[in-house]
A and B are shown apart, each in its own frame.
Chain A
Amino acid sequence: MTNLEKYINAFTTTFGIGESEVEGLEYQQIKAWDSIGHMSLVSAIEDAFGIMMDTDDIIDFSSFEKGKDILKKYDVEIESV
């Protein structure tokens, strides 16, 4: 799996949505991405890339796009489509 695929997969499995729905997705835009969903999403992403995110990054992770930027700090490059 490419990093992009792993990244998308964390969203689709945590929130039970399709791949077409992740682009542009933001925190609290869907019911599944509430604070509980957020905690799971962060764990899924940490597991997928073998990283531990800092508090500031966890609470700043407010959208699908924003997350890509944040992951760069952890040397995880999400390929653009």
Chain B
Amino acid sequence: MMWRLNQFKDNTAVIIEYGEKIPYSALLHDSQKLAEKVKDRCLVFNLCSNEYGSLLGYVAFLNNRIVPVMLDAHLDRMLLNNLIESYKPDYLWLPARMKNEFGYSVAYESNGYALLKTPYEKVFPLYDELALLLTTSGSTGSPKLVRQSYQNIQANTKSIAQYLDLDETERPITTLPMSYTYGLSIINTHLYVGASMILTQKTLMQKEFWQQFRDYKATSFGGVPYIYEMLDKLRFFRMDLPSLRTMTQAGGKLSPELHRKFAEYAAETGRKFIVMYGQTEATARMAYLPPEYALAKVGSMGIAIPGGKFRLIDADGNEITEPEAVGELVYEGANVTLGYAESGGDLAKGDERNGVLITGDMARRDKDGFYYIVGRKKRFLKIFGSRVNLDETERLIKSGFGDMDAACAGKDDEMVVFITDKTKEKEVQNFLEEKLNLNRLAFRVKYIESIPKNESGKTLYAALEKFYD
């Protein structure tokens, strides 16, 4: 079993929005009952929401060798249907309010969640070590999933719990979805140490969130860069939050100004602020900046996690050893995932990476051994913590808007979308909001007479930069 829930049976596992405390013994009981309904190893889609039903499903599946695909319950229905079509899951586990939307029969219900039986019966063989499948981003409709093994999750969980020094007195409050690798890693690590999780669907822009934070005495939260921007906007530094111990940050590079502000706040108030770095391809985490260096190393994402190792390579794949030189970041560790799946047939695949991940991130290492991300090799942006592939987004627009040409560029948290039809600006923005399941403010749609291209028809993205503003 992935987690030894029995070991903590009297501890509170979950505190739900209305304050009810669910002990580990109940989580064990509820998850075993669900697992009995599924019977044996197969594929299940878990449509996640930060509530108990979603968590008990996850625990039931992982502890019983049932393989879940973790998806956001708000995922665009067409994209979800594509995924169902590609992977043919045996069951869906979803909020009970959605149970009649699929035409599948209800096999079981528990704690506000429902188990639906699809017409599929173990269509694709599952590799023996395969534990879990996650999307790499908020999704651009690509059916690409990351294949994580039991060993990946165990190794990463243990390492994170160690460097964060977690114990059963912790009480994180959710600020991220559990279908997202960072949100899931918070759940994994706290289940591992027998701590209590405050599950809420409220956001930090709602007073109920802060009420729960204070009433249930949250000790920590995690945030992607935009969450730290919101906290700054909310004048977080003046809030009275006596139970808070630790703030962690991942999911993209925080601006050095905000990094400094939160590190100073932490230093002044005796708390920990921990900047981290990871990817779904590495289960969750590869690096962390030890909190005692938070101020001394502003802008750095730190050092490799316990059990992991970094190196930098040049364009020919040779290792770079001198400090301050920029190279592509390569990570090695037991948390490097098996590889990707693009369709159901890939679920039988074994380990394709053998513990080595070429991250696609360009980084430098200072003379003290701390790493700094300086750019990316591939064309994607991190938008509100989610990876969004620019080429896939372009394809989405082109297939949705016929003969109009389009090019996607921009910087993190702001994609600039160039289109050649002036009348379609708002339509494209609406389209992207819906398809990518991201706030419309992430996209700035701009008209351009024609997309600059080279002789072979490739878009010249650098030539678009001067039109960003």
Contacts and interface: CB of A to CB of B under 8 A. Distances in A.
Interface of A: 14-16, 27, 31-32, 34-40, 42-43, 54-56, 58-60, 62
A47 to B, nearest CB: 13
Given A38-B205, A58-B205, A62-B206, A32 B230 contact: no
A58 B235 CA distance: 10
A27 to B, nearest CB: 7
Given A16-B429, A55-B235, A55-B239, A36 B441 contact: yes
Interface residues of B, number: 26
Interface string B440-459: 11100000000000000000
B430 A39 contact: no
A14 B426 CA distance: 13
Nearest to A34: B439
A35 B210 contact: no
Given A42-B233, A55-B234, A55-B238, A60 B433 contact: no
Nearest to B230: A39
Given A31-B433, A32-B439, A55-B238, A39 B207 contact: no
B206 A39 contact: no
A39 B233 contact: yes
Give 6 nearest A-B pairs by CB, closest first: A35-B203, A36-B439, A59-B207, A38-B205, A35-B205, A55-B234
Nearest to B384: A36
Contacts of A43: 233
Contacts of A35: 203-205, 230
A32 B433 contact: yes
B239 to A, nearest CB: 7
A62 B208 CA distance: 11
Contact of A34 (B203, B236, B429, B430): B203
B10 interface: no
Nearest to B233: A39
B226 interface: yes
Contacts of B203: 34-35, 38
Given A32-B433, A59-B234, A40 B441 contact: yes
Nearest to B426: A16
7 contacts: A31-B433, A31-B439, A37-B441, A40-B441, A55-B238, A59-B210, A62-B206
B230 A27 contact: no
B229 interface: yes
Contacts of A34: 203, 439
B187 to A, nearest CB: 20
Interface string B226-247: 1001100111101100000000
Given A36-B230, A37-B439, A59-B204, 19 more contacts: A16-B426, A32-B439, A32-B440, A34-B203, A35-B203, A35-B205, A37-B441, A38-B203, A39-B205, A39-B229, A39-B230, A43-B233, A55-B235, A55-B238, A58-B205, A59-B207, A59-B209, A59-B234, A60-B207
Contacts of B204: 35, 59
B234 A58 contact: yes
Given A36-B441, A39-B233, A55-B239, A16 B205 contact: no
Contact of A59 (B206, B429, B439, B441): B206
A80 to B, nearest CB: 25
Contacts of B429: 16
Interface string B418-447: 000000001001100110000111100000
Contacts of A27: 205-206
A36 B439 CA distance: 7
A40 B205 CA distance: 11
Interface in B213-268: 226, 229-230, 233-236, 238-239
Contacts of A55: 234-236, 238-239
Contacts of B433: 31-32
A62 B206 CA distance: 8
A44 to B, nearest CB: 11
Contacts of B238: 55
Tell me which of A31, A40, A43, A56 has the highest count of chain B C-beta atoms within 10 A of its own C-beta. Answer: A31
A16 B440 contact: yes
A59 B205 contact: yes
A9 to B, nearest CB: 16
Nearest to A56: B207
Contacts of B442: 36
